[in-house]
Amino acid sequence: MERQDVVIVGAGIFGLSIAYHILRENPGKHVTVFEKFGTCAQGNTAKSAGAFRNVFSSKTNLLLADTSIDFYMDIHRKGYDIGLEQAGYLWLMSASQIERNKTVFEGMMKEGVELKFFEKEDLKKVMPYLNTDIDPDDEEARMMGLESIEKGIQGVKCGFVDADKLTRFYEGEVKKMGGSVIYNTEVEKPLLEPKEKLGLECEPLIWQDVEITGVKLKNGHTVNADKVIIAANSWAPQILDPVGIDCMIKSVKRQMFVLRNPKLNVLTNVHGFNSMGVLPFTIFPKASVYIRVDRIEGSVWASGHEHFGAPYCFEEDPKATDEYYDYNIYQVLRKYMPIFDGLKASNKWAGLYDMNTIDANPYIFETHNVIIAVGSSGSGIMKADAVGRITAALYAGRTEAELYGGKKFKVSALGIKNRQVDAERFIL
Which residues in this chain contact a second copy in the complex, by CB under 8 A?
Answer: 143-146, 192, 196, 198, 200, 202, 204-210, 241-244, 246, 250, 252, 286-287, 289, 304-306, 308-313, 323, 327-329, 331-332, 357-358, 368, 416-417, 423
Could you tell me which residues come within 8 angstroms of residue 37 by beta carbon, excluding any fewer than 6 positions away? Answer: 11, 43, 183, 184
For a second copy, the closer CB: 29 or 419: 419
Cα–Cα distances in Å, from 122 out to 125, 132, 140? 5, 11, 27
Query: What minimum distance in Å lies between the beta carbon of 224 and a second copy?
Result: 17
User: Shortest distance, CB of residue 341 to a second copy, whole angstroms?
Assistant: 17
CB of 25 or CB of 422, closer to a second copy = 422
Q: Closest separation between CB of residue 179 and a second copy, Å? A: 29
Contact assessment for residue 72 and residue 84, using Cβ atoms and an 8 Å cutoff: yes
Q: Of 316, 323, 304, 315, which is closest to residue 256 (Cα–Cα)? A: 304
CA distance readout (Å), 207 to 4, 127, 202, 242, 370: 28, 69, 12, 18, 21
Task: CB nearer to a second copy: give 118 or 257.
Answer: 257
Shortest separation between residue 260's beta carbon and a second copy, angstroms: 23
Q: Residue 390: what are its φ and ψ, rounded to 5°?
A: -70, -40
Which residue lies nearer to a second copy by CB, 159 or 304?
304
Decide if 368 contacts 247 (C-beta within 8 A): no
CB-nearer residue toward a second copy: 122 or 326: 326
Calpha distance 72→15 (Å, rounded) = 16
In the bound state with a second copy, the residue whose beta carbon lies nearer, of 32 and 255, is 255
Contact 387, 362 (CB under 8 A): yes
CB of 125 or CB of 197, closer to a second copy: 197
Give Cβ neighbours of residue 93 (< 8 Å, ≥ 6 apart).
101, 149, 150, 151, 152, 153, 285
CA distances from 351 to 17, 256, 317 (A): 20, 8, 8
Query: Are residues 83 and 162 in contact, defined by beta-carbon separation less than 8 angstroms?
Result: yes
Which of 104/126 has CB closer to a second copy?
A: 104
Write a three-state SS string for 275-336.
CCCCCCEEECCCCCCEEEEECCCCEEEEECCCCCCCCECCCCCCCCCHHHHHHHHHHHHHHH
Smallest separation, CB 334 to a second copy (Å)? 12
Inter-residue contact 234 to 251 (CB < 8 Å)? yes
Between residues 2 and 139, which has the closer beta carbon with respect to a second copy? 139
- Least distance CB 196 / a second copy (angstroms): 6
Closest approach of Cβ 319 to a second copy, in Å?
Answer: 15
The minimum distance between CB 152 and a second copy, in angstroms, equals: 20
CA distance linking residue 91 with residue 104, whole number of Å:
14
Determine the 3-state secondary structure of 189 from DSSP. strand
Residue type (1 letter), 401: A
The distance of closest approach from Cβ of residue 396 to a second copy in the complex, given in angstroms and rounded to an integer, is 24
